[in-house]
Structure 1
């Protein structure tokens, strides 16, 4: 009888050890090691075109390696629609049309060099891994609310796909780099500026959306409202346009634009702290404004004694054809 009890005890202990071992194995299989972003995207059938494009441009190695990244990942359906919109039949044709380097830059426009999970996404501009012709990082505009939308077109459909070197968010459209006009147009804080650009002589909206190289010092809506409040007989933007005339409005707006790209890091090196604008004074010369460079602030002093200096509110928003710096006052040439 004692022998039987001992055999039963041995069997119970053995079964417990087997169950414990199985439980440990189960725990290990439910927590696999995270993979890099390329492997994570490759494992998801929704991103076969994106992964193909990454491999063609060598970015698969980048997103597999060291570093931290956020990828806004277009689905196959998003690429299919982009090909239709751009007039290409397939990815081969897209690469041939853009060139491999052009395709690489479009893909890099979907990448941030930092980790931003959904809780970190805020309305505003972000610098991407893509660059303009001068090597400056291109910006996109992200808006939050009922949905997260990028450049007014791509919506985040799924967030926070975790990888060992970053995070991916699923988007439903391919992002394309934008001009400085389009970056202004998307931001509700610059709605008055956008309306003024469209109303002024010279098709300034088209100019700032086209080829060329510009720096725009962009007054926000509060800046325009301050001018409206300070102008007798003017109660809204339409009244201001009427008071200035579309030709006068054009001169005022061009007073906020310079030729060439001036980033915030370039401002201290400008000769005499004077900036030549695209506005003409009527005698063939260009209006200028002055910079007051302090230790921590930069102020813009225009040509009108009736206005206060403007301060920079945001800097280095880079588009395909230039840069934008936000300012808190409308500049007047005289």
Structure 2
């Protein structure tokens, strides 16, 4: 579709990387540095173009029954709010977040954003080189976390009653976050495909085997580097086994006496009674806690909290709908 001349003038030679139809003749265009919103001429307004630079420090989202508002915070330069139809939020959010990550130097030049997910207070962005995670009321701000695929050695998914846990082993540590079960398969496919493509392996088993081999090679390399003389010949005869120290032989009676003395010095003459052991802070051994039962109970509590959050969000939508209808005099 041919762009209106007003939009072309505002592009300043940039090529749009994404375009979203906002309804009617209104359109949203995303360039590498800005998001432009074209508003066509109406009965009460002239055509206009709004510009939203991507160097934002924070992005927040508010929704009503029909509208969504994206607010870009530019720090000392203030805020700008972009209003779009609620049904278009996912189409707009994906290229907009990609532009903001690029403008803030979080993604590399040429890095592609594959998928964007928004779950209540969790935002997930999957690129071809990393996963970016943000938790909080904002869609994104400088408190984000990122997991470059270069340091990811394993990936697993643990289904639950309400949500699925994504377990990402990154830089030797496990990172966990949850995705609702309705979207879990899409999240699993997006992260798995991007991770396997980055490492050029067929499946997760091959990735685990490859990273295990790399860890062994790294350990061997570090061991060799610990020597100040590298892998060269032993310069000081260290390859020869040292002769063992020869101790004077002792009689069986002397050996027994020495052993008894060492045991008495280490343990004392008498074993502590149960009361003495308790008073000294040492509890008698008992049954180990059932960790599996505790883990299951914690998982049930998490699921209950997530169900309550979903119910609160549904009630909030109903309240917003009621307010909107009251304003309309219904």
- Give TM-score scaled by structure 2 length: 0.23
Identify which of structures 1 and 2 has the higher relative contact order when contacts are C-alpha pairs closer than 8 Å and 6+ apart.
1
| Structure number with bigger Rg | 2
